[in-house]
Structure 1
Amino acid sequence: MSELVVVDAGRFATKTVLDGVRDWFPSVIGEYRDLHLGRTWTHQDMVVEFEGEKYYIGEVAKKESSGAATLMLDTKVTLDTKLLILTALARTLSDKSTAILVTSVPISSQNELEKLHLKKLLLGLHTITVNGETKTIHIPRVEVGIECAVAAWMLRKQKRGTYLVVDIGSRTVNFTTITNGQWVDRLSGTLPFGTETENISQTLFVRMVMAELSRRLKPIPPMVLMGGSAQNLLEHFHGYTQAVEVHHDPVYANAEAMYRFWKEELAHEAAKTVIEV
């Protein structure tokens, strides 16, 4: 029996959603080393062994790895992405599970070649050890969603007319315009900066976002903010417009929307198969 699992491997945090489960951990990977002074371990601290290499992932990597880092590359087709996603699966699935995996890329990376390479990176049988527990996970199918876009579309039953969803990330800011329940491609895209790429105040960061959005959208429609920093940035957006709110589930908005979307898609596929048979 295959389990539908969504893993949103963001640059700041990796979020996982499956039936009845939500999980997250910091997307920080560092080299492993023996600790001489000991440590009080938490659920966000992981020692990960994969393909002969040993890593710290999560909070322990931030504090104990001299080479701890979060990749800020344009592509997600990297070993880091594979490590974060497999770690997420090992944390939430039992050994010898089969997962239909859904993950995502920014709007600017939404092309068939990037999606194909990401699928090839993740498909197959993988064995990974997290905090001493070894699990083998089979991934026979990978689907790649579009960050921000699916979450924006999922709001269509709650919001009328035209609205703009802004997904504030560590490396990029995705924005999606919805009009009468439909995406507007020419009014959607990715800004090439995020909360961790600019060494500026929150006030100036929001000014950068609004400056870029105002060049692309005239006028800027009512906005919905997503992302882990959305709530903290809301007051700064109020300096430009009062027609802005925070998504009701800003941290898990992408992952939860993709889970609901693909659960419906799989149900339709199953129903179609029954009819055809």
Structure 2
Amino acid sequence: MSELVVVDAGRYGTKTVADGVRDWFPSVIGEYRELKLTRPWTHHDMLVEFNGEKYYVGEIARKESSGAATLMLDTKVTFDTKLLILTALHRTLPADSTAIVVTSVPIASQNELEKLHMKKLLLGTHTIEVNGEEKTFHIPRVEVGIECAVAAWSLGKHRKGHFLGVDIGSRTVNFTAIMNGQWVDRLSGTLPFGTETEKISPTLFVRMIIAELSRRVKPLPPLVLMGGKARDLLDHFQTYTAVEVHHDPLHANADAMYQFWKEELAHEASKTVVEV
């Protein structure tokens, strides 16, 4: 039986949601080197071996790797994404599990070619070792969701009217307009900057977001903020417009995608039973 696992491999952190599991670790990958001084390891420190190479992943990469980095490329179809997702599966599932993996890309990257490349990146059987424990996973199916859009749509099922979901990431800011439970494509998109790309004050960063949103969406509806820095930026947004923070801004995308695909898989199973 396949396990449904959602992995939102963001540039700042990798969020995982599965049955009974909610996990997070920093999306930092660095070179491995033997440590001369022993130190206590935390849940966010991982020595990962994959395809014959060793890496530090998570907090230990940030502290101990000279080349520790988080990629800020336009595409998320990269080796880094694959390593982060397989590491997340290792933290979530027992060895030799079969998993339906759901991940996501920004609204601006949402096209059939990007989705196809992401699926090719992850499909198949993969063996990975984390902190000395080797596991093999079988991934027969990959689905690619839309960052911000699914989370905003999920909120929209329970509220009327017009609002704008705003997902503040490290490299991009995604926004999705919801009107009476339905998203509006022409009022949704991706801003090409994020919390890690602009070395300016939070006040000016939020002003940049408001300037772009107010130019693209008129009139500007109430905002619902998502992303790991949402609560930190709330006061700055309140200067300009009506705004609130998602009840779980860090896992907003992963939670929504998990619920969506859990229902979708149940629907597919019921159709199969009827057809048989």
Name the TM-score class by shorter chain: over 0.9
Q: Secondary structure at the match of 1:208?
A: helix
TM-score, normalised relative to structure 1: 0.99
Partner of 1:267: 266
Superimposed CA distance per residue, residues 184-228 of structure 1 (whole angstroms, 9 cap, x where no aligned partner): 000000000000000000000000000000110111001100000
In structure 2, distance between residues paired with 1:218 and 1:15: 33
Unaligned runs of 5+ in 2: none
In structure 1, distance between residues paired with 2:10 and 2:88: 12
> Which residue identity does 1:267 align to in structure 2?
A
Alignment of 1:44-193 (within 5 A): 44-193=44-193
In structure 2, distance between residues paired with 1:134 and 1:197: 36
Alignment of 1:23-62 (within 5 A): 23-62=23-62
Partner of 1:255: 254
Q: CA deviation at 1:159?
A: 1.9
In structure 2, distance between residues paired with 1:256 and 1:53: 32
User: Stretches of 4+ moved more than 6 A in 1?
Assistant: none
In structure 2, distance between residues paired with 1:152 and 1:65: 37
Q: Secondary structure at the match of 2:4?
A: strand
> Which residue identity does 1:205 align to in structure 2?
F
In structure 2, distance between residues paired with 1:134 and 1:124: 17
> Which residue identity does 2:180 align to in structure 1?
N
In structure 1, distance between residues paired with 2:116 and 2:219: 36
Unaligned runs of 5+ in 1: none
In structure 2, distance between residues paired with 1:228 and 1:43: 19
The percentage of aligned residue pairs carrying the same residue is 80
Q: Secondary structure at the match of 2:35?
A: coil
In structure 2, distance between residues paired with 1:77 and 1:33: 27
Superimposed CA distance per residue, residues 9-56 of structure 1 (whole angstroms, 9 cap, x where no aligned partner): 000000000001111100000000000011110000000000010000
In structure 1, distance between residues paired with 2:169 and 2:17: 19
In structure 2, distance between residues paired with 1:204 and 1:133: 45
Q: CA deviation at 1:157?
A: 2.9
Partner of 2:223: 223
Q: CA deviation at 1:135?
A: 0.1
The count of corresponding residues between Structure 1 and Structure 2 is 276
Q: CA deviation at 1:158?
A: 2.5
